[in-house]
């Protein structure tokens, strides 16, 4: 098991040194150092969390809340640094998803792909 943990840490370090992570870290710092951008992003993410919690609890999201979420999304997308940050987050998320698929291939071979 320690060999697996060692390889996972090694992979984590490679990810941390990747251009994608470096760019994400730089953009994250830029947003954190920009009071307006930081507040905009925080408001957007808080709204996202609130709506996700409602959905998980089975509470129907109102049309007004959906419109508000869309407006908040459009607002943060108009901010160049936030937009770049969100794109970088998406790219890194895709990389991690690819890594997860590769790591779980032996289980898929053993149990078969989920239909």
What pLDDT is attached to residue 84? 97
As for how many domains the chain has, the answer is: 1
Range of the domain at 12: 2-111
Among the residues of 17-79, which ranges form H helices? 19-32, 35-56, 63-78
Which token pair is 58?
């089975």
10: Cα separation from own chain's centroid: 22
Which token pair is 17?
């040194």
Query: Alpha-carbon distance 72 to 46, whole Å?
Result: 11
CA dihedral 18, 22, 27, 30 (to 10 degrees): 170
Is the pLDDT score of 113 beyond 90? no
Is the pLDDT score of 114 beyond 70? no
Q: Which CATH number belongs to the domain containing residue 55 in this structure?
A: 1.20.1500.10
User: What's the chain's average pLDDT?
Assistant: 93
Tokens 């129907």 sit on residue = 60
Query: Alpha-carbon distance 33 to 38, whole Å?
Result: 7
């Amino acid at each position: 098991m320690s060999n697996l943990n060692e390889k996972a840490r090694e992979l984590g370090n490679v990810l941390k040194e990747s251009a994608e992570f470096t760019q994400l870290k730089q953009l994250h710092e830029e947003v954190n150092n920009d009071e307006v951008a930081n507040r905009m992003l925080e408001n957007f993410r808080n709204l996202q969390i609130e709506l996700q919690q409602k959905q998980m609890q089975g509470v129907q999201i109102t049309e007004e809340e959906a419109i508000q979420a869309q407006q908040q999304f459009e607002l943060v997308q108009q901010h160049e640094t936030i937009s770049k940050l969100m794109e970088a987050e998406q790219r890194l998320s895709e990389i991690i998803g690819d890594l997860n698929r590769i790591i779980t291939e032996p289980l898929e071979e053993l149990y078969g792909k989920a239909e």
